[in-house]
A = this chain, B = another copy of it.
Amino acid sequence: MLNFRTDLASERRDIYQKVQGTEGKLNGIESQKEQINEKLSVERVKITNEEGEKAIGKPKGIYTTIDIKNLKIAQEEEINKASEVLAKELGDIISMHIDKQGEILVVGLGNESVTPDALGPKTINEIEVTRHFINYMPQYVKEGTRMVSAISPGVLGTTGIETVEILKGVVQNINPKLVIVIDALASRSIERISSTIQISDTGIVPGAGVGNTRKEISQKTLGVPVIAIGIPTVVELATLVSEGIDIFIERLQEKAESNEYLNRLQQNDKYEEVKEALNIGEYNMIVTPKEIDGLIENMKEIVAQGINLAM
């Protein structure tokens, strides 16, 4: 299998097609695009058989991608419109698996104190849970309300427990009919960062995008359908640099250039050319350790103590 280094099915399909040189339809992979408005589009990819599974290394199921342009400067109405599109796509997938009143457990994966990994736990704080009202104050709840509960189980590094073990226990005790997991993903492309939402009904392998594979969270391990909502928040550095080098090698080959070209290239500042080639655009892209929040706490202590001592 190719090493895709991305969690997005649509990116994987594109890479597969590029490598195979197949532009047209793939056996076992169906796609359909819809442009909602100038800023929002939806692509629904369906993997229908084993051939499709093998091609892009993802299990059979639905992979819907919502793309939002320029989220960076989002206005309230754009945020509302994007939520509505997500609600529709998510609602469609939920109703393929359970009925209108089937209880749902929403799970926010990730580490709240690591900025690019905090999306899951932060989202959980905003979910409107109803399970306890229905259990303890049924008289205040409109009939037919769906039971919803929500949990942020933490990450293996800080709990010492595989996330799937925690979730198995919770699912056994509260018996939801379906689980939704929210996770920050790695992507291959800078433009997708915080502007793409992937919804799939095949579960998730936490950390898969960055090579830290954890045990899978899916119907196989939890016993109920698992819908995963994934949002790219980072690109891994080495992936990006490899890609940058590929682009330059292509240019070298196109121009069939000799060592003179290489010499010239090295003397120029390739900076602007790279910026353009990597499609960095208006973003201010930085490279930083994932642990930067913690490192800054350490440094803060050193500098503050250092200054206090010097006085």
Contact = CB atoms under 8 A, between A and B. Distances in A.
Interface in A166-183: 166, 168-174, 180, 182
Contacts of A91: 309-310
Nearest to A172: B169
Given A146-B311, A173-B169, A310-B87, A131 B161 contact: yes
B259 A253 contact: yes
Given A123-B303, A126-B300, A160-B129, A194 B292 contact: yes
A234 B150 contact: no
A142 to B, nearest CB: 12
Interface stretch (A25-33, A41-49, A50-58, A243-251): A243-251
Contact of A233 (B86, B296, B310): B296
A235 B289 CA distance: 10
Contact of A274 (B106, B119, B166, B245): B245
Secondary structure at the A interface, as helix, strand, loop or mixed, is helix
Interface in A129-179: 129-133, 146-154, 156-162, 165-166, 168-174
Contacts of A262: 249, 252-253
8 contacts: A82-B302, A83-B302, A83-B309, A128-B311, A168-B173, A193-B289, A210-B284, A234-B286
Interface of A: 3, 5, 68, 71-72, 74, 79-80, 82-88, 90-91, 94, 104, 106, 112-113, 115-116, 118-119, 122-133, 146-154, 156-162, 165-166, 168-174, 180, 182, 190, 193-194, 197, 210, 229, 231, 233-242, 244-246, 248-250, 252-253, 256, 259, 262-263, 265-266, 269-272, 274-275, 278, 280, 283-311
